[in-house]
Amino acid sequence: MRVLIVGAGFAGVAAALAARRAGAAVTMAQSRPGASSLYAGVVDGELGPAQASGLEELGRALGLRLSAGTVVATREGVVRSAAGSDSALLELGALAGRRIALVDVARDDWDGPLLVRSFAASAWARASGTRFELVPLELLEKGHQRRVSSYDFASGFERAERPAWLCELLKAHTGPDAWLFGPWLGVGRDLARELTASVGVPVGEVTSPPGGVAGARFDLRSAALLRALQVGFAPAPAFRVAPGAAGVRLELTDGTTLAGDALVLACGGFVSGALELRGALSGAEPAGLELAIAGLPPAVARGELATSVSSMFGVDLAAHGRRLLERVGLPVAADGGVVGAPRVFAAGDVLAPEASSVGHALESGLRAGARAAAAR
Amino acid sequence: MDSPPPAAQERDPRGQQLERDVIVIGGGVNGVGVLRDATLRGFSVSLFERNDLAFGASGNSSGMIHGGPRYLSYDPDVTYSSCLDSGHIQRIAPHLLFRIPFLMPVFEASRLKATAMLAAYDGFFTLYDKYQPLKSGKPHTRLSAQDVQSLEPGLVPSQGGVSFDEWGIDGVRLCVANARDALERGAEVRVHTTVLEVLRREDGSAYGVRYRDRQTGEVGVRTARLVINATGAWAPLTASLSGLKPEAARVRPGKGIHVFLDRRVTNYAIVAKAIDGRQVFLMPWQNLSVLGTTDDDYYGDLDQVVATGDEVRYLFQAVERVFPSIRGARAIGTWGGVRPTIFGWGQNEDQLSREHEILDHQTDGADGLFSMVGGKLASYRLFAEEMTDVIAKRLGRGTPCQSHLLALPGGDESIDPMRLVLEGGMEAVTATRLEYRHGSRSLAILERMRKNPREAAVVCACEPVTVAEVRYVVEQELATSVEDVSRRTRLGLGACGGMRCAVRCGRIVADATGQSPERGMAMALGFLDKAARRRSAAIGPGQARAEVMALASLRAELGPAADEPAPALRSEPGEPA
């Protein structure tokens, strides 16, 4: 049994895990980073009990804390609940009623004095009696660190002597029950966990910006997981899916073709990294937005969109509302199978009602992977 | 009416002394122009603006104080006064002006026609050249086909063309500078304050206004000797608030929209012909390229002017014919406004006069009430001077006009942006943009950064805009919300649609105005909602894809709506009156 997977985001990785666990061989086609590589570190969506073992394994491998009652703080000064998060994010739920130190650093993208006010004024903090206080720390080694990306700033803390130095710095401040950092606690190295152990109180982050550390951690950890699962990789990005009665062919941009028994389409929605979304402005294409997939029912893939594009200019969101952006999906049966293509299963944003719902990607990915491995 | 008003006119009906010489209704360029001129001449003036300064046509124009070559053939007086006043504006606000060289290529079916057309352009612009010295413009140049091609390689092959010279300006900054100057000289300016009624005595004469602050709900009365209706396209509505028929200050509202791209795609502004023969353009403007403009009769809500998809396509269709790669450009937004054109029946929008007119409503039985209709950004100062001349005559005093001699705030001294880089720790592009908007006043913003280096942090990376500038426009330029800050600084109007900076800006504005963080969040969401509506008619798949990502990121930051009592996406900053 050979399963082809298009896309290596949360949904594709979940599908790969499920297909491998069901005994199938897996080949994955991917190209550019998509929405998963840019996510904020927060898992939204409902995670049901149906695939608990798969979710648990995924969570462990990808460094996710999957728990419905998760409470995290965001870069925009909001305290919010989630279905889970990158485990480097500070879990506030267990800290209700305590004193949380917000680290202040004179970085351009960080306005500590206003963030602490905003956290303190949040409904959660007021209801739980949790206090936030601002603690300035001299974390900038050089002036330019004020403006480097948060990713670069975070990776600077991984250097050999820095974690121990940071630990001493935090220990010197007695009082706080937890430390809340910006998205700076390492990329490859799990500094949040190391510091939590060495300082003796929880140390964690707020959410990441697009291109920040949470997405980078996903990239590193998902690559390691796929290696461990012995997933093969296609030599070039995919651009066309051709399902037949006996199997599925996947055409690649280098002119070669891959054959498989079933396929999981987890290429992302609007922010697709794996398949080309063609738009009217990019060339002589007639329609505004089309999933470039032959063999799937194109009238339906296009259907909803066909009415909303002009001959020249693409999606008219004024007329059709911004929700249209999130409805580029395919028609899919309740089991995740694509209507009209018996060996193709969809997962993740390509069929999501809303972009970047990580929980939905994980669940639908596990389901599609299992179904594909069992396709007859 | 040339003699000073009788003593009875010096008091309100209850016998109280009148509070002001003049009340101006409307914070567009004509309103703030009169505000400043009258203040400079020693009158006490109050201005009431229902929305924000430059909310209407003034902040949504083509962003030029051009000499109006288009009007040369049928309205040469408009061309003359536009050019003359363009020169004056250049002297009082040099920091706000930037040169926009225009290219007018010729595309004709036959060589004979092309030669004739080129000769016609050449002759026409030779005539226009006579006006250019008034505004320090350069004379036109006749160009060969090769010249045109080498100047703008993206143009389809032409048969030659001409170049001519115009000045670009940020209309919002011009309005803010006028208002700021008047404020510093003792005038009163109330933004987000709508006039509920123009008060009139039993004999019909006007003596003030009743107003309502749309943010605080405060209702009050301000009395004055004269009331000026400078509300642009809203003029008929204001007339009816005065108990007059709307027709007393009739205009023919003409909607004009612009689409802007995420970068400058040409060096020259390029004139193209639209499907109906109208001239439209693709021009470099500040750090963008702009397509404009339309001119259509408008019957919709003046407070909610938004470009539509068909208007956007009309412009793209016209520009695409001469500059095909525009199809690959990334449109990131639109702006639209409504011209308060002088009323005329039975003419095409384009043929209407661009002249301006002062209406004395004494003829309607409302002595002391005037309306300003028509006009152009380029000649706002002249229009304001004429209005203030009438005021001075009516009140029988006042010093001579100086609005063309005294620099506007920021225009008195030229500042080297490198100084801001070295002393404020800003990056060069931040400093250059800051100096453009504020001229010498950027030193006040630099001072803030010296006191608190963290105010040099960039909030909006697209424009860019610093924390210090956000706080400055709140404290010094009457901004009260994210939308107001955006209008004054262009914050949040870049490729991310404000999704990366609006919430932070909201936190800063809330802090600077003593409001709660929740209120800051509500302001930011209100801005994002409006900005999305303005953008959505223009964006294509590439931009849409980027926006989905930004939106998903913002959603993750804000969390599920159920978590906190979500600040309603209401129109900011206040409820409609």
Taking only the tens place, the pLDDT of each residue in A116-129 is 999 999 999 999 99
On average, the pLDDT of chain A sits at 82
Which candidate from A76, A121, A356 shows the least CB-CB separation from B558? Answer: A76
Cα(B319)–Cα(B476) distance, rounded to whole angstroms?
40
Residues of chain B contacting residue A75, judged by C-beta atoms under 8 Å apart:
557
* Residue that is written with structure tokens 């500059």 in the block: B323
Both tokens assigned to A148: 């480097």
- pLDDT greater than 80 at residue A266: yes
Beta strands in A93-202 (DSSP E): 99-104, 131-136, 178-181
Find the mean pLDDT for residues B250-264.
Answer: 96
Beta strands in B71-139 (DSSP E): 97-105
Cα(B488)–Cα(B486) distance, rounded to whole angstroms?
5
- pLDDT greater than 90 at residue A208: yes
B529 touches chain A (CB under 8 A): no
**Which residue of chain B has the CA closest to A308?**
B309
Residues of chain B contacting residue A76, judged by C-beta atoms under 8 Å apart:
503-504, 554, 557-558
pLDDT at B35: 98
Q: Please state, in angstroms and as integers, the Cα–Cα distance from residue B263 to each residue in B102, B167, B427, following that order.
A: 18, 19, 19
Closest CA to B265 of B285, B241, B236: B285
pLDDT at A331: 57
On average, the pLDDT of chain B sits at 92
A115, A309, A316: best to mutate for the B interface, most B CBs within 10 A: A316
Find the mean pLDDT for residues B433-460.
Answer: 96
- pLDDT greater than 90 at residue B455: yes
Of A231-245, A282-296, B129-143, B325-339, least confident by mean pLDDT is: A282-296
* Residue that is written with structure tokens 């970085």 in the block: A107
Longest dimension (CA), chain A: 68
pLDDT at B447: 97
**Which residue of chain B has the CA closest to A42?**
B556
B454 touches chain A (CB under 8 A): yes
Cα(B350)–Cα(B42) distance, rounded to whole angstroms?
39
Give the gap in angstroms from C-alpha B293 to the nearest C-alpha of chain A: 18
- pLDDT greater than 60 at residue A280: no
What is the pLDDT confidence band of residue B173, given thresholds at 50, 70 and 90?
very high
B549, B554, B558, B569: best to mutate for the A interface, most A CBs within 10 A: B549
Q: How much of chain B exceeds pLDDT 90, in percent?
A: 80
* Residue that is written with structure tokens 């299992």 in the block: A370
Find the mean pLDDT for residues B472-494.
Answer: 97
Cα(B67)–Cα(B537) distance, rounded to whole angstroms?
31
Instruction: Report the range out of A43-57, A136-150, A288-302, B216-230 with the highest average pLDDT.
Output: B216-230
pLDDT at A344: 84
- pLDDT greater than 50 at residue B82: yes
B461-475 b/e (C-beta count within 10 Å ≥ 16 → b)? bbbbbbbbbbbbbbe
ipTM over 0.85: yes
Interface of B with A in 83-102 (CB under 8 A): none
Contacts of residue B72, defined as CB under 8 A and 6 or more positions apart, other chains included, come to B79, B124, B127, B128
- pLDDT greater than 80 at residue A325: no
A37, A43, A75, A76: best to mutate for the B interface, most B CBs within 10 A: A76
Closest CA to A236 of A256, A261, A265: A256
What is the Cα A246 distance to its own chain's centre? Answer: 33
Contact B242, B249 (CB under 8 A): no
Contacts of residue B110, defined as CB under 8 A and 6 or more positions apart, other chains included, come to none
Contact A195, A163 (CB under 8 A): yes
Of A250-264, B395-409, B427-441, B555-569, least confident by mean pLDDT is: B555-569
Asked if B563 lies within 8 A of A81 by C-beta distance, the reply is yes
pLDDT at A313: 36
pLDDT at B514: 95
- pLDDT greater than 70 at residue B504: yes
Interface of B with A in 214-233 (CB under 8 A): none
pLDDT at A270: 64
Amino acid at A37: S
Asked if A282 lies within 8 A of B454 by C-beta distance, the reply is no
Asked if B539 lies within 8 A of A317 by C-beta distance, the reply is yes
What is the pLDDT confidence band of residue B496, given thresholds at 50, 70 and 90?
confident
pLDDT at B68: 79
pLDDT at B129: 95
Asked if A74 lies within 8 A of B557 by C-beta distance, the reply is yes
pLDDT at B8: 58
Find the mean pLDDT for residues B35-48.
Answer: 98
The 10s digit of each residue's pLDDT in B540-576 is 766 777 777 788 888 889 887 644 443 333 333 333 3
B537 touches chain A (CB under 8 A): yes
Amino acid at B257: I
Which candidate from B309, B458, B557 shows the least CB-CB separation from A108? Answer: B458
Amino acid at B33: G
The runs of H, that is alpha helices, within A180-259 are 191-199, 213-228
Asked if B549 lies within 8 A of A38 by C-beta distance, the reply is yes
Does residue B573 have a cis bond before it (omega within 30 degrees)?
A: yes
Interface of B with A in 279-338 (CB under 8 A): 306, 308-309, 312-313, 316-317, 320, 327-329
Which candidate from B456, B507, B553 shows the least CB-CB separation from A118? Answer: B507
Which candidate from A76, A114, A278 shows the least CB-CB separation from B557? Answer: A76
DSSP per-residue string spanning A292-344: --SSS-HHHHHHHHHTTEETTTEE-HHHH-GGGGG-----B-TTSEETTEEEE
Q: Is B284 helix (H, G, I), strand (E, B) or coil?
A: strand
DSSP per-residue string spanning A21-50: HTT-EEEEE--S--GGGG--SEE-S---GG
**Burial of B8 from C-beta contacts in 10 A (0-12 / 13-18 / 19+):** exposed
Both tokens assigned to B317: 């269709």
- pLDDT greater than 90 at residue B460: yes
Give the gap in angstroms from C-alpha B493 to the nearest C-alpha of chain A: 17
pLDDT at B49: 98
- pLDDT greater than 50 at residue A293: no
* Residue that is written with structure tokens 């998205």 in the block: A183
- pLDDT greater than 90 at residue A318: no
